[in-house]
């Protein structure tokens, strides 16, 4: 009797242990399987794509959606600097001339305004100006933006490109311009203003009507679009993408175009990496190349977007210069630009 009971108990124990083992094996198996198949952000975004490093300077032209309020010369708390006027009396506004024309009725106007990603309705009344003999809204507005910058990279099959590493903004509050259309053009460097402490330098170049690509996005991590004329990018080389975790303090280099001799490699030093930082100031760099320092004094306007390379991998792009020391500045992680470009 005792022996039979023990046998039954032993059988139950064996069954329970076997069941528990099966559960653990399954959990362990599927858990390990999930870990091995999971890919990081860079691998997912770059899978089956070929990237070519940039360094070419281009002209950049943006046409904003609506008009951006740059200044307010009227006692009206309903309109603020940085507002974007999208429509007036239900008519879509794309230029400052359209807004001025509608104001000539002298009647109150219903404006649709975008403010901090929110659309609101505002009523304003034009005021008659005796000097100009016209009705005025008392607003200083801008409908487009233009400048020069540097292409960071492009993807071979889609021909999508990324440039600047930061947004095109207006006003002292750095409002990011939403765009209706925009393009990149060929440009010729006319002159260089050398950077000194508290007086940033600048590349000065032509912005032609010879459009070589379209701009689709303007984000805090750069401008993004598609190249139409690939002949301007024949010097570009295929390059691997580097993860931010692999970046090290020490030597690196950038590609930049600062004169008529075209794109060239220049040495820099990575001083600090901010792995957990947001935005586009993720890497602190210092220009060490003697030729570049002699010609530009360091980082100057127009070099934004210059690709940053370490261990033969594209890891970032120049975004900012230190006002007190033009030899030093910031770069963004290339992952930030890749993530934004993937939304096109």
Residues labelled as active-site residues: 166, 289, 304
What would the two tokens of residue 272 be? 């600090």
For residue 97, CA distances in Å to 140, 143, 267, 325, 335 come to: 12, 9, 47, 41, 40
DSSP string for 205-227: E---S-EEEEEEEEETTEEEEEE
* Paired tokens of 219: 């984000």
Say how far residue 108 (Cα) sits from the centre of its chain.
39
The Cα 196–Cα 59 span in angstroms is 24
Cα atoms in the Cβ-side hemisphere of radius 13 Å centred on 265: 11
| Alpha-carbon gap, residue 342 to 344, rounded angstroms | 6
Inter-CA distances, 60 with 53, 129, 234, 285, Å? 19, 36, 20, 25
Q: How far apart are CA 40 and CA 107, in angstroms?
A: 57
Residues in CB range of 171: below 8 A, 6 or more apart: 68, 70, 81, 82
**263/307 Cα distance (integer angstroms):** 11
Spatial contact of 154 and 236, defined as CB atoms under 8 Å apart:
yes
Residue 327: CB atoms within 10 A of its CB come to: 20
Residue 50 · residue 238 · CB < 8 Å:
yes
């Amino acid at each position: 009797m005792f022996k039979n009971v023990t046998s039954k108990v032993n059988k139950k124990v064996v069954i329970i242990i076997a069941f528990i083992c099966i559960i653990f094996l399954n959990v362990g198996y599927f858990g390990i399987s999930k870990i091995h198949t999971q890919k990081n952000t860079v691998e997912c975004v770059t899978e089956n794509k070929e990237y070519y490093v940039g360094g070419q300077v281009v002209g950049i032209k943006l046409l904003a959606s609506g008009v951006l309020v740059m200044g307010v010369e009227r006692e009206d708390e309903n309109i603020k600097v940085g507002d974007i006027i999208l429509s007036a009396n239900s008519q879509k506004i794309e230029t400052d001339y359209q807004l001025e024309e509608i104001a000539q009725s002298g009647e109150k106007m219903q404006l649709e305004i975008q403010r901090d990603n929110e659309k609101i309705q505002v009523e304003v009344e034009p005021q008659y100006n005796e000097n100009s003999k016209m009705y005025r809204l008392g607003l200083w507005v801008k409908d487009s933006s233009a400048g020069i910058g540097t292409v960071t990279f492009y993807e071979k099959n889609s021909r999508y490109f990324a440039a600047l590493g930061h947004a095109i903004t207006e006003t002292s509050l750095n409002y990011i311009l939403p765009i209706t259309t925009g393009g990149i053009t060929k440009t010729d460097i006319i002159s260089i203003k050398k950077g000194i402490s508290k007086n940033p330098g600048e590349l000065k170049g032509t912005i032609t009507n010879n459009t070589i690509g379209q701009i689709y996005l303007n984000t805090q991590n750069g401008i993004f679009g598609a190249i139409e004329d690939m002949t301007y990018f024949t010097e570009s080389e295929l390059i691997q993408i580097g993860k931010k975790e692999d970046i090290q303090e020490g030597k690196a280099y950038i590609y930049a175009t600062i004169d008529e001799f075209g794109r060239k490699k220049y040495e820099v030093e990575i001083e600090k990496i901010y792995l957990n930082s947001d935005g586009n100031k993720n890497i602190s760099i210092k220009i060490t190349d003697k030729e570049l320092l002699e010609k530009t004094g360091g980082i100057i306007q127009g070099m934004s977007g210059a690709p940053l390379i370490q261990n033969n991998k594209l890891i970032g792009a120049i975004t900012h210069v230190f006002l007190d020391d033009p030899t030093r500045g910031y770069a963004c992680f290339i992952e930030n630009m890749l993530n934004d470009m993937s939304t096109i």
